[in-house]
Amino acid sequence: MSTEFSKNSKHDKQKFYCELCDYICSRKHHLNQHFLTQSHKKRVVNNVDNSINHTENPNYFTCSNCNKSYKERSGLWKHKKKCEPDISNNNIDLTDSNVILHLIKQNDDFKQILIEQSKTILDQNNKLFEICKNGTSNTNISHVNSHNKTFNLNVFLNETCKDAMNIMDFIDSIKLQLSDLEKVGKNGYVEGISDIITANLKALDVTQRPIHCTDKKREVLYIKDENKWEKEDDEKKKLRKAIKRVASKNQRLLPKFKEAHPDCIKAASRFSDQYNKMIIESMGGSGDNDVEKEDKIIRKIAKEVIVDKTIE
């Protein structure tokens, strides 16, 4: 049923041949695979049947495509005009694992799909790893994103806080007492001026405040001035101007303290040291320069006016 033969050229490979199916290949492994195909198996069975039929009916003519037999050659000739080969018989028996592997290797499209799927899975795994590493769940991320989408800064400033005070109107509205002057003398310029400004800001409703901080770390501030909200520049010019105005108002309380305690200018007076310290601290105190002190005051103010972004 199979035959091995070689050509004369030394470069030609050995050939394997199935006489029954007229099948030629260069490897015996391929010939063995051919023997497992349904078409070959069927031909073997039909060949046996035909042999029996021909023995019993030697005058029958058989179709090579479908193996139907006819008593006359003309009947077979007419039949062959209509008969088509059974393509389904050429299907490979998929139980042969070697054939399956061979088909997969030859299917570039299938390989590409597998590669793309692998990349997608790897990318998803990396993202999941990052989320787990940062201790953040998808639920928390969705929760944060939901709030970020809900909060609109423009709406908050221009609608929710549309009636807020202008920054200089707010500063002018601050009414200082001698107790404020005394606290500046006792706690120092930075603490004293910061306390005055933040205390008066806290006394206002959030929607009335002229200052809002949207980023504590970067000290991103929005200030209302001349009836419009604007993002404070990097130099914080408007807020520094407001700080200087409050410090000036505090200094103007010194004469009132002197009126209340006339003997404070005398070294023997129990108010002398207090008065001298208030003068020094009201003027900025010792240590850092004015800009550095103002920077510290700005940081303290920013902490007290951080925008609650959960407000809808």
The answer to whether residue 138 scores a pLDDT higher than 90 is no
Q: What is the pTM of this model?
A: 0.52
Q: Positive or negative, the Cα torsion across 294, 299, 301, 307? A: positive
Report d(CA 107, CA 110) in Å as an integer: 5
- Lowest-confidence region among 3-7, 53-57, 153-157, 200-204: 3-7
The answer to whether residue 81 scores a pLDDT higher than 70 is yes
Q: If phi over 0 gives left and psi between -120 and 50 gives alpha, with beta otherwise, what is residue 228?
A: beta
- Containing 41, the helix (H) or strand (E) segment is helix 38-56
- Lowest-confidence region among 191-195, 242-246, 283-287, 300-304: 283-287
**97 C-beta neighbours (distance < 10 Å), count:** 8
Report d(CA 45, CA 85) in Å as an integer: 17
* Beta partners for residue 46, in sequence order: none
Task: Look at residues 225, 168, 213, 215 and name the one whose alpha carbon lies nearest to residue 305.
Answer: 213
